[in-house]
Amino acid sequence: MNIKIVGLIIMLLTLISFTTDAHKNTLHPTEITIELALKQQSGEYHRPYVASWIESSKGKSVRTLLLWREQAKWLKDIRRWWRKAGRKDAALVDGITAATRAAGKFKLSFLAQDDDKKSLENGQYTLFIEVVRENGGRAIIRQPFSLNGNKETFTLAATNETEQIKFSVNPK
């Protein structure tokens, strides 16, 4: 076979493979939804700082989903998130920060992507939600989940800072 034809065939196969993978990711993204409910506290009340992120099965932060905060100097009080992601990437922190929220219910939706907007591979992950209040409590919630093309729904137990939280993984 002519070397030019072999090269052309390889190029076409590579293009087909790339197009199929890209098409698959755009047609079938996985959506992650969190129904977060922050408890109303009595006495002196400060709005909590909240971070939510996803870690791989190896404990590496792959995506920060949300960061609700006011003053940057208190970010280190969201301890696990700070150690895993926050202190390493100032641009990420600036890009996802939103203001703190008062007590209430919040329905949040995200694509299962990493911090670089690339689809997460099938595998085992853990969702983390960390809630910290000045002169108040601290809660860290962990929920293992799988990305494998199947829908999963979880009800996470209430803590001193949150009501029950609903979390789901929804392949499209």
Which is nearest to 168 in space by CA: 140, 129, 127, 131? 127
Phi-psi region of 43 (alpha: psi -120 to 50; beta: other; left: phi over 0): left
Beta sheet of 104-111, edge-to-edge order? 104-111, 30-38, 165-171, 152-156
Tokens of 45: 């009340």
38, 136 in Cβ contact below 8 A? Answer: no
* Partners of 64 in the β-ladder: 53
The domains found in the chain, sorted by start residue, are: 30-171 (2.60.40.4070)
Which is nearest to 126 in space by CA: 116, 114, 141? 141
Would you give the distance in Å from CA 8 to the centre of its chain?
A: 41
- Whole-prediction pTM: 0.77
**pLDDT tens for the chain, residues 1 to 172:** 566 554 545 554 554 444 444 444 444 589 999 999 998 777 777 788 888 999 999 989 899 898 888 776 677 777 677 677 776 666 666 566 666 777 789 999 999 999 889 999 999 999 999 998 876 688 899 999 999 999 999 999 999 899 999 999 999 8
Tell me what pLDDT residue 22 has: 44
Tell me what pLDDT residue 145 has: 96
Tell me what pLDDT residue 89 has: 61
Tell me what pLDDT residue 51 has: 87
Strand pairing of 104-111 and 30-38?
antiparallel
**What's the start-to-end Cα distance of the chain, in Å?**
43
